Structure 1
Amino acid sequence: MTRPAHRLHQIVRLAVKEWRLLARNPHGLAVLFFMPAVFVLVMSFTLKNTLVARVDLPVAGWVVEDTHPAAQAWSQEWLGRHGGQRYDSREALRAALRTRAIEAAVVVRSPWLGEDGQPRAEQVELWLGNRVQPAAAARLRTELSFSMLQVRMRIAAAEAGPFASVLLDSAATPELMGEGGGPRIRYLYEIESGRAMTAVQQSVPAWLVFGMFFVVIPIAGVLIQERNDGTLTRLASFGVSPGTVLGSKLVAFMLLNWVQLAFMIAVGRWLVPLLGGPALQLDIAPGWFALMVLATSAAAVGLALLIAAYSRSFDQAAALGGGLNVVLGAIAGVMVPRMLMPPGLQTVSEWSPMGWALDGLQAVFLGDPEAGDIVLRAGLLLGFALLCLAAAWWPIRNRERAD
């Protein structure tokens, strides 16, 4: 056999060896095939409504503060054509948005008609729930603008008499469209907090949650090394219980999460403005903020300890923990905002620990969190942390007894 042929034969044999080793590593195969497949499924369903040519109108509630017959007739015509519900006050409308009984709201202020007798777009407010897709919001705003344009056309045609056909031919002129161009859009978080949602205000809580849950990597390294070199066995011989071991790691890595928190806030507060972006606003409720960070950190460290306790090697823990965090982050709305997700996936995201943490922290950073929402999500996270710690305690206890 010639030298090149011999080398080729060696390469083929060694390649077959690598395939055999990989076949014996199910966690490596999961990282290569299962996790990407799950991620493709999640992201495909998440983004499926962003590339379609037509989106459905969101369900809208109405409050008509103008008692003029024209305003009343316009709202009734819209409701009869597109559906929806009228409410008695802005407070009732806001409550319906908060409970997601409706997806959008239209407030017709008085006077809706200007001095020229024409409807004014600036007298119409369009409120949107925090999860309404931008495409759906844009279509609703366009439909409202076109509906008001039709009213202006009818009024102008009635005044013009025999010249109505001329006006109808020029229906798209700026004079008939009005100066406002369309109703003003405000999201529910803007209405409740009085603060506009900037990219950094949304990104910092999202990626802070994602970073906290990636604490599984250092925890797995420490716990598996201590198990392999006999440190856990020596601690047990000194009367240190598995609960104490888990508690010490919980405290240590929760403090590490707080360091992460300070770093992320510093980036959003000072580095982003230096690069030309908006600064992170920190006028937030400190009590609710501390509670959410504590609960999020406990859940993240608890999940990491659970994965590390059942993993036989660092590679196994890193593959499982890293892949699981990526999937949980995609579902929770870290990588793609929930407003871009279809309703079914939005519902699924509400059962993700990252989703609980993200909802709570974003509510805090918006400046006006509801006490019930914060306490509920913090309670879910702390309960999740306790379950993870209880499940992690068992294998550590059994290994100590075996040793």
Structure 2
Amino acid sequence: MRLGALVRKEFLLLTRDYHALAVLFLMPALFVLLMAFALAEVNQDRLPALELVLETPQASEESAFFAAALGGQLPESRVLESGNQALPRIRLGNDFAEQLLDTEQVSLSLIFPAATDALTRQRLRTAVQVALAQTRLMAFLLDTGDLAADSSLAERLELVDQRTEIRIDEQELLASGALEQRANASQHSVPAWLIFGMFFVMLPMANGFQREQQSGILLRLRCLGVSMGTLALSKLLPYLAINLLQFVLLLAIGVWALPLLGLPGLQLPGSAAAYVLLASCLALAACCLGLAIASLARSGEQALMLSGGINLILAAIGGIMVPRSVMPEAMARLAEISPMSWALDAFLVLLVGQGSLSDVAPWCARLLLFAAIVGAAALFLFLKRLNDTQWTTHN
């Protein structure tokens, strides 16, 4: 009876706190939508167009072919003859045509402005290497007579493309061992920001606890004989329900809202029971951590710093903000301690690998173990905080 009344009280307080509702629902939804938009082209292997300058001190058939081949490697990009210093530059040497067949090193240089990001640098290096290899092949075919000297640029490009064309059938290896066509972009991006959003439950939990302690509500409840376990459950259960609602809402945004915005919709293959298990374990881990933060923080400012800081750190090392595949080895190993990393792996097994309940069970077991350890620490801190409040009040 008391537990039900306390849970109802938490829900009423939360529904009147518009800032907390925004943190729990609006902000995660915006994260999912904005990051899906921001990474739409990257996740679909359709990288944004570039603008660069190709300097050719001595125009020749070889340099013209190189420019055309480079344009083929960077579709929709603009290759300019001149431009400002803020653009990446490719500079061909004066003896570019003569060196194609004579030496292994062709006179060519790449010049990057300091602000050029790593992805753009790598894309340009790869495009230049392929275009240069195609240009050398063209020169070799001309030298051997396999390509007519009077052939047009289009004919040369067509023949070289035929000689260098490679088709790769990319498939996903499912958890069952079967092969399936490649998963869509949303199945990689939506889960990460869904997990990140669910862990924001720490902030309203901590703030609510601070308000109740400062107003004396916690002390009055203890004076009425409400047990510590009942108080702790009254804090956990409402936010567990909210986390589960977040899970459903954010998945629904991925399934139905993203297609309305022109993005690939999230597909949910696999067992419904596996999603329920993952949602429950993830919510429990997030709420236990939230209870621990609430018990540790001594003010609203501390609650904000601890909850926000821990959330960002777990996301940074857990592969949410930066994929583990691009992390250094030491950082990738460190990611294994983040519950966000476990939840993300379980999500990818479900969404991309089309896994079953047994496939996500190991990751869910880690989340449950984390919840048990952090929850036990949270209960200890919670009891200590209540006892400190009573002692301080009576003295």
Shared fold per TM-score greater than 0.5: yes
- Which string of whole-angstrom CA distances, capped at 9 and with x for unpartnered residues, describes residues 114-135 of structure 1? xxxxxxxxxxxxxxxxxxx999
Deviation of 1:137 after TM superposition, in Å, equals 12
Instruction: Give the alignment of 1:81-230 within 5 angstroms.
Output: 165-167=144-146, 174-175=158-159, 177-178=161-162, 181-184=165-168, 186=170, 188-189=172-173, 192=178, 194-230=180-216
Deviation of 1:372 after TM superposition, in Å, equals 5.7
Amino acid at match of 1:165: T
Q: Is 2:172–2:353's contact at 8 Å kept on the other side of the alignment? A: no
Unaligned runs of 5+ residues in structure 1 are 1-132, 158-162
Say what the alpha-carbon RMSD is for the aligned residues: 3.9
The alpha-carbon distance between structure 1 residues 390 and 142, as it changes in their structure 2 partners (threshold 3 A), is farther
Deviation of 1:329 after TM superposition, in Å, equals 0.9
1:365 aligns with 2:321: no
- Which string of whole-angstrom CA distances, capped at 9 and with x for unpartnered residues, describes residues 166-188 of structure 1? 34999x85435537822415264
The alpha-carbon distance between structure 1 residues 314 and 303, as it changes in their structure 2 partners (threshold 3 A), is same
Amino acid at match of 1:349: A
Percent of matched pairs sharing the same residue: 34
Deviation of 1:323 after TM superposition, in Å, equals 1.4
Measure, in 1, the Cα distance between the counterparts of 2:162 and 2:248: 48
- Which string of whole-angstrom CA distances, capped at 9 and with x for unpartnered residues, describes residues 287-344 of structure 1? 1111111111111111111111011012111111101111211221212333333333
Q: Return the TM-score normalized by structure 1.
A: 0.56
Measure, in 1, the Cα distance between the counterparts of 2:144 and 2:163: 23
1:247 aligns with 2:233: yes
Amino acid at match of 1:202: H
Measure, in 2, the Cα distance between the counterparts of 1:257 and 1:193: 33
Unaligned runs of 5+ residues in structure 2 are 1-118, 150-155, 391-395
The alpha-carbon distance between structure 1 residues 272 and 214, as it changes in their structure 2 partners (threshold 3 A), is same
Q: Is 2:210–2:298's contact at 8 Å kept on the other side of the alignment? A: yes
- Which string of whole-angstrom CA distances, capped at 9 and with x for unpartnered residues, describes residues 12-42 of structure 1? xxxxxxxxxxxxxxxxxxxxxxxxxxxxxxx
The alpha-carbon distance between structure 1 residues 169 and 134, as it changes in their structure 2 partners (threshold 3 A), is farther
Q: Is 1:292–1:378's contact at 8 Å kept on the other side of the alignment? A: yes
The alpha-carbon distance between structure 1 residues 260 and 167, as it changes in their structure 2 partners (threshold 3 A), is same
Measure, in 1, the Cα distance between the counterparts of 2:316 and 2:292: 21
Amino acid at match of 2:324: R
Q: Return the TM-score normalized by structure 2.
A: 0.57
Corresponding residue for residue 335 of structure 1:
321
Deviation of 1:226 after TM superposition, in Å, equals 1.9
The alpha-carbon distance between structure 1 residues 336 and 362, as it changes in their structure 2 partners (threshold 3 A), is same
- Which string of whole-angstrom CA distances, capped at 9 and with x for unpartnered residues, describes residues 184-231 of structure 1? 152645785624232322222111100111101110121112222222
Measure, in 2, the Cα distance between the counterparts of 1:378 and 1:250: 19
Measure, in 2, the Cα distance between the counterparts of 1:254 and 1:142: 53
Q: Secondary structure at the match of 2:226?
A: coil
Amino acid at match of 2:293: I
Corresponding residue for residue 302 of structure 2:
316
